[in-house]
Amino acid sequence: MTRMLIIGPPGSGKGTQADRICGVLGIVAISTGDIFRANVKGETPLGIEAKKYMDNGDFVPDSVTNRMVRDRLAQSDVAEGFLLDGYPRTSPQVDELDDILGAAEASLDVVVQLTADDEELVKRLLGRAVETGRSDDTEAVIRHRLDLYREQTEVVVSRYAERGILAKVDGLGEMDDVTARIMDAINKVKG
């Protein structure tokens, strides 16, 4: 069983790689971004609330996000393991996840940090904008999301590094090569 996170700046390939890794490991992928987008599309109360923040590239408030993740992790399909994509993104979200999972040090097997330079990230996301028309993939909003990553999510990465479960992986290059690098990194950390 593997319980893991994938963290990285917008456009680093989190969603792309999460699906591939889950296919290999036979675990369920949980993307907070995907859950929010499904709710926005369905015009649910959660979606209406989340849209106010997502369109501007801001984080949805921790209280809303934490409740949603707590409910999702209470479902039975996570018993065989899971990969959280895009959560936690803030230090209070790390505390919440520790609380949900129990003993902090024992709760997660591995945290993968995907890296890429800003120029590549902006290029990928502008490319995605052409394909999907995602409302938060305009250049100004992308730059704001990159700033937020530095301000609020890099501390999340440091906290997992202190626990000795962080695997830093280069997200540049062919998708298959990135997947292979991630699998190597997972196997090294898990021993």
Active site residues: 14, 89, 128, 134, 145
Subset of 118-157 contacting ligand B4P (CB under 6 A): 124-125, 127-128, 136, 145
In sequence order, what are the residues at sequence separation of 6 or more whose Cβ sits closer than 8 angstroms to the Cβ of residue 49? 60, 64
**What tokens were used for 52?**
């106010």
Taking a C-beta distance cutoff of 8 angstroms, is the pair 160, 154 a contact?
no
The residue sitting closest to ligand B4P, measured at its beta carbon, is 33
Taking a C-beta distance cutoff of 8 angstroms, is the pair 101, 3 a contact?
yes
Q: Which lies closer to ligand B4P via its Cβ, residue 83 or residue 165?
A: 83
Q: Return binding residues.
A: 11-16, 32, 37, 58-60, 86-89, 93, 128, 134, 145, 173
Q: Among candidates 12, 6, 31, which has minimal Cα distance to 123?
A: 12
Q: Return binding residues for ATP.
A: 11-16, 128, 173
Smallest gap from residue 191 Cβ to ligand B4P (A): 27
Binding of ligand B4P at residue 169 (CB under 6 A)? no
Bridge partners, residue 7, by sequence:
113
What would the x/- binding string for ligand B4P be over residues 53 to 82, using CB under 6 A? xx--xxxx----x-----------------
Size of the site for ligand B4P (CB under 6 A): 30
Q: Which lies closer to ligand B4P via its Cβ, residue 18 or residue 165?
A: 18
Binding of ligand B4P at residue 95 (CB under 6 A)? no
Q: Which lies closer to ligand B4P via its Cβ, residue 86 or residue 186?
A: 86
3-state secondary structure 53-117: HHCCCCCCCHHHHHHHHHHHHCCHHHCCEEEEECCCCCHHHHHHHHHHHCCHHHHCCEEEEEECC
Q: Which lies closer to ligand B4P via its Cβ, residue 81 or residue 144?
A: 144
The number of residues making up the chain comes to 191
Pairing status of strand 110-115 against strand 2-7: parallel
Element (H, E) at 167: strand 166-170
Q: Which residues bind ligand B4P (CB under 6 A)?
A: 10-16, 31-33, 36, 53-54, 57-60, 65, 86-87, 89, 93, 124-125, 127-128, 136, 145, 175, 178
